[in-house]
Amino acid sequence: MAILLGVDTGGTYTDAVLMRDEEAVIASAKALTTRHDLAIGVREAVKAVLAVSDITPSDIALASLSTTLATNALVEGQGARVALIYIGFSERDLAAQGLADALGGDPVLVIAGGHSHGGAEVAPLDVAKITAWAAAQDVSAFAIAAQFGTRNPAHELAAREAVREATGLPVTCSHELSARLGGPKRALTAVLNARLVGLTHRLIGRAEGALRELGIDAPLMVVRGDGALMSSIQAQERPIETILSGPAASIVGARWLTGADHALVSDIGGTTTDIAVLRHGQPVIDPDGARVGPHRTMVEAVAMRTHGLGGDSEVHLTTEGLSGGVTLGPRRVLPVALVAKDAPEMVHRALDEQLNRAVPGEYDAQFVCRVEGHDAVGLPSRAEQVLARITAEPQPLGSVLTSRLEAQSLRLLVSRGLVQVAGPTPTDALHVLGRFTHWNAEVSEKALALLARNRSGSGERHAPDAHSMAGQIVEALTQATGTALLEAAFAEDGMEDPAALARHPLLHRGLRQVPGLVRLTAGLGVPVVGLGASAQTTYPAVGDYLNAEMLLPKHGDVANAIGAVTGRIRMLREGLVSSPSEGLYRAHLPDAPLDFGDADSAMASLEAALTAAATNEAEAAGAASVHVQVWREVKRAKIEAREIFVEARIVVEATGRPSIAAHDVATVL
C-alpha cells in the first residue's frame, strides 16, 4: 500500500491531498499561497494535511505538484526579461504570431543563418557575433529559434553553446519544445519558456526544499499541460510545458471525482477560470497548441479556455453611459480582506480616512506591497524610484503614487512580479454577503462602501451601500462565468464566432425563458463540473443562469491536487522523413538529418531514434515500466501511374506509471 501526496500551488491557495494507492482520499488541506516564497505555502499545506491524517512523512512514497504559476504569469504578463536570437528570419517576421507583443521591448538579435525545408544550410552562422551580442545583454535568460530548426537544429545548438559560454544563463532552443514547422510560433514558445525558467526554478526548488524539511524523502513529479507527469528536473528545463498544468490536473481530478464521461469542467481560482471538455472520459487536447491569454503556443495541452476571471479579479466600475455597471479582471489583485489579515490596524485606518473624505479618491480601497526575491534588472529609472518607495508591508496606493506617469510604472512593476496590488474583488463581495468568511469581512465592507459611492455617468451612486455593491459584483461574476461556459460549448460544437453567439440576445431570451409569441428555450446539453475553492458558493447560481446540471463534488476544491496524484507519465516524440529528390530519403533525426537510399530504412532509423528518445525521457521522468506506441502517417502521390513517396510523419508515445519506492506504512488507516 502506497501513500501519495498531491500538491497544487495556485494563485490564492496551495492545496495538499493524501491518497491511498490512487483509490481513496485520506485527507486534504489548504494554505494561502505565498508568492514571495512559495515554499511557505507548500510547507504549510503539507503540514496541515499531515496533521489531519496522522500519516508520518516517511510513509509518503511519491509527491506530485500541479501549478497555475506559469499560466497566471503569462495571463498577468509577468516573467523575467529575456533576449531572443532569431536565426534566418527577417525583422518583419517578428510581427507574426504575436511575437513582438510577447517580447514587449526585450532585446532581439536578427541574424543570418538557418536551414531549408530539406535541412540544408541556407547561410553560415556568425557565432562570434552571437557571442559578443549575448555578453552585452542585461537579461535573465535567452531564447533561440532558427529557420527550419526542426529539420536541422545545428544552428540552434551552435548558438546555444555560444550563449552559454558567454553568459552562463539558461537557454531555450525552439526545436526542443516542438517538432512542428512554424518558426515565429516556435520562437514565441521559446521566448515564453525562457521567461518562465526563473519562476519555475524557484517554485520547484523551494517545493523540494519544503518537503525535505518536513522529512518527506520521495521523488517529486510535476504535471504538464496535457495532464501527464514529468520529473522536476524536466520541468525546470521546459517550464513552458507546465502552462495549464493546474487546469489539466483539475480535469484529471474531475474525472476521478465524478466519473463523468461527457461534461464541461470549470475550475475557478483566484486569478483565472479554466474551462475544458471531457469527452469519453478523457480531456480534449488542443490540436493547435495551448492558448494562454493572447498567446498561442506550440505546447501540447488540454484544450482549455482560460479567462482572467476569478475570486481575486480586479473590480472595474463602468463610468461611461447613464446606468453604470461592473466588469471584472483580467488582472488579479489581492482581496482587501486578505491584506487586512496581517495588517488589520493599518488597513482599517486607511479605509476610515478615505470614507471620511467628502470626495471619492482615485485610489480608494487600493493597497500595494513589495514582493521580495524577484529579479529587478532592466527597470526604467522612474519604475526604480516607485519601487524604492514600496515596502513589504501593505501601503495605501495613493500614498505611493504621485502622478499618472508613476501609475504606468506601477503597471510595469506588477507585470514583472515585483509588487502586488490589493483592491476590491469578488472574494471581498462574498465576505460582505456572508458566503465566505475566511478573512476580514469588516474591511471588505468598508472597501465596497468606498466603491459604491463612486458615481456613474448619470451622477447617481453605483450602489446605495456595500451589500448592494457586493450583489452587483457577484452577479457580474455569475454572468461572466456563464458567458465563458457558453463560449466553450459553442466552440466545442464547431460553431463560428462562439464569443458572439454566447452574447446573442436571442440566446439570452431562451436562457431566461422570456414569454412571447415566439417561445425560446436554451440551456447547456451536458453537465458542468464546478471546481475550485469558491465553486460551492458561486456555481449554483451559474447553473441556474444556464439551465444546466451542476456537479459540485466533494473534494472539488482540491481537484488539482487529486489530479496530480492520479496522472501518468507520457512522453511524445515526433519526426519527419522527407524526400528532397527522387531516390533520396532524409530522416530528420533529433540531432541532425541523415540520408538513405530507400524510404523503409529512413523510417526505421527515425522510428528507432524517436523510440529511444521517448523511452529515455519517460525513464528519466521516473516511469517504472514503459509502454511504447508508434504511429506512422505516410503521404504518397500518384504521378503518371507511379506512386511517389512525399513524406512520412512518425509519432512515438512512451507511457508509464511513476516508480513508487517501497514504504512500510505503520499507521492503521
For 73-87, 118-132, 569-583, which range has the lowest pLDDT when averaged over its residues?
73-87
For 604-618, what is the mean pLDDT? 95
For 636-660, what is the mean pLDDT? 88
Query: Using an 8 Å Cβ cutoff, are 189 and 299 in contact?
Result: yes
Query: Using an 8 Å Cβ cutoff, are 191 and 84 in contact?
Result: yes
Query: In angstroms, what CA-CA distances link 397 with 11, 132, 336, 367, 379?
Result: 22, 43, 12, 5, 20
Q: Angle at which helices 404-415 and 381-389 pack, to 10 degrees?
A: 80
Closest by CA to 179, choosing from 585, 571, 568, 465, is 571
Cβ-in-10-Å burial (0-12, 13-18, 19+) of 439 comes to buried
Classify 221 in phi/psi space as left (phi over 0), alpha (psi -120 to 50) or beta: beta
Model confidence at 669, pLDDT cuts 50, 70, 90, reads very low
Q: Where are the beta strands (DSSP E) in 388-510?
A: 395-396, 419-423
Rounded Cα gap, residues 271 and 159, in angstroms: 37
Model confidence at 661, pLDDT cuts 50, 70, 90, reads low
Instruction: Give residue-wise pLDDT tens across range 314-351.
Output: 999 987 766 778 999 888 899 999 999 888 999 999 99
Query: Using an 8 Å Cβ cutoff, are 354 and 336 in contact?
Result: no
Instruction: Give residue-wise pLDDT tens across range 400-445.
Output: 998 888 999 999 998 888 999 999 999 999 999 999 888 999 999 9
Closest by CA to 316, choosing from 369, 383, 367, 366, is 366
The Cβ of residue 507 has, within 10 Å, a number of other Cβ atoms equal to 15
Asked if pLDDT for residue 64 goes beyond 60, the answer is yes
Instruction: Give residue-wise pLDDT tens across range 276-326.
Output: 999 988 888 887 787 776 778 888 888 888 788 999 999 999 877 667 789
The pLDDT assigned to 321 comes to 65
The pLDDT assigned to 474 comes to 96
Asked if pLDDT for residue 196 goes beyond 90, the answer is no
Model confidence at 466, pLDDT cuts 50, 70, 90, reads very high
For 169-188, what is the mean pLDDT? 88
Q: What separation, in Å, do the N-terminal and C-terminal C-alpha atoms of the chain show?
A: 11
Residue keyed to cell 492520479: 566
Closest by CA to 421, choosing from 341, 351, 336, is 336
User: How would you classify the pairing of strands 627-639 and 108-111?
Assistant: unpaired
For 34-38, 357-361, 660-664, which range has the lowest pLDDT when averaged over its residues?
660-664
Instruction: Give residue-wise pLDDT tens across range 473-502.
Output: 999 999 999 999 999 999 999 999 999 999
Query: Using an 8 Å Cβ cutoff, are 8 and 65 in contact?
Result: yes
Cell of residue 7, nine digits: 500538491
Model confidence at 269, pLDDT cuts 50, 70, 90, reads confident
Phi first, then psi: give them for residue 322, nearest 5 degrees.
-90, -30
Model confidence at 666, pLDDT cuts 50, 70, 90, reads very low
For 468-473, what is the mean pLDDT? 96
Closest by CA to 253, choosing from 15, 53, 489, 483, is 15
38 SS3 class? helix
Residue keyed to cell 515585483: 418
Phi first, then psi: give them for residue 109, nearest 5 degrees.
-115, 110
The pLDDT assigned to 663 comes to 43
CA atoms within a 13 Å half-sphere pointing along the CA-CB vector of 573: 21
Averaged pLDDT of the chain: 89
Closest by CA to 443, choosing from 423, 417, 463, 414, is 423
Query: Using an 8 Å Cβ cutoff, are 315 and 334 in contact?
Result: no
The pLDDT assigned to 322 comes to 64
Rounded Cα gap, residues 274 and 497, in angstroms: 19
The pLDDT assigned to 76 comes to 67
Residues 6+ apart with CB under 8 A from 409: 380, 382, 383, 385, 386
Model confidence at 664, pLDDT cuts 50, 70, 90, reads very low
Residue keyed to cell 520541468: 235
For 365-385, what is the mean pLDDT? 86
DSSP letter (8 states) at residue 66: E
**What single string gives the DSSP state of each residue in 553-578?**
-TTGGGHHHHHHHH--EEEEEEEEEE
| % the chain with pLDDT above 70 | 97
Instruction: Give residue-wise pLDDT tens across range 27-37.
Output: 999 998 887 77
Closest by CA to 577, choosing from 552, 595, 562, is 595
The pLDDT assigned to 266 comes to 94
Asked if pLDDT for residue 447 goes beyond 90, the answer is yes
The alpha helices in 497-598, defined as continuous H runs, are: 498-502, 505-512, 535-546, 559-566
